């Protein structure tokens, strides 16, 4: 009996980072921060990450704001999407 040939996936099956353009090191840092934030703050961790993005943005640090938005996206995609939409309008 012949085995089916499986093709290689270009992205992980569980990859939900459609908008992600950073490096793996940046993604690991965002995931690590998200896990630590969740351990410290539980279900309010996404809101804390969003607040950190707002603070970074207010201080003019776009790179740091983007990092915290990615942490927020890791924890709660809808909250991050809504924040990004409000910021754009």
Task: Find, among 40, 33, 16, 24, the residue nearest to 67 by Cα.
Answer: 33
- Rounded to an integer, the average pLDDT of 68-74 is 95
Question: Do residues 84 and 54 lie in contact, with contact meaning Cβ atoms separated by under 8 Å?
Answer: no
pLDDT in the model for residue 9: 45
* Sequence-distant (≥ 6) Cβ neighbours of residue 80 within 8 angstroms: 46, 50, 69, 70, 72, 73
Mean pLDDT over 40-47 rounds to 95
Over 60: is that where the pLDDT of 8 sits?
no
Average pLDDT of the residues in 65-72: 94
Mean pLDDT over 57-82 rounds to 94
* Span 29-41, pLDDT tens digits: 889 999 999 999 9
């Amino acid at each position: 009996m012949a085995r089916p040939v499986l093709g290689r996936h270009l992205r992980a099956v569980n990859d939900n980072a459609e908008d992600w353009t950073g490096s793996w090191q940046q993604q690991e840092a965002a995931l690590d921060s998200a896990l630590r934030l969740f351990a410290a703050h539980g279900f309010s961790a996404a809101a804390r990450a969003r607040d950190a993005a707002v603070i970074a943005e207010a201080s003019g640090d776009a790179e740091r704001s983007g990092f915290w938005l990615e942490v927020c996206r890791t924890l709660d995609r809808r909250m991050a999407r809504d924040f990004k939409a409000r910021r754009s309008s």
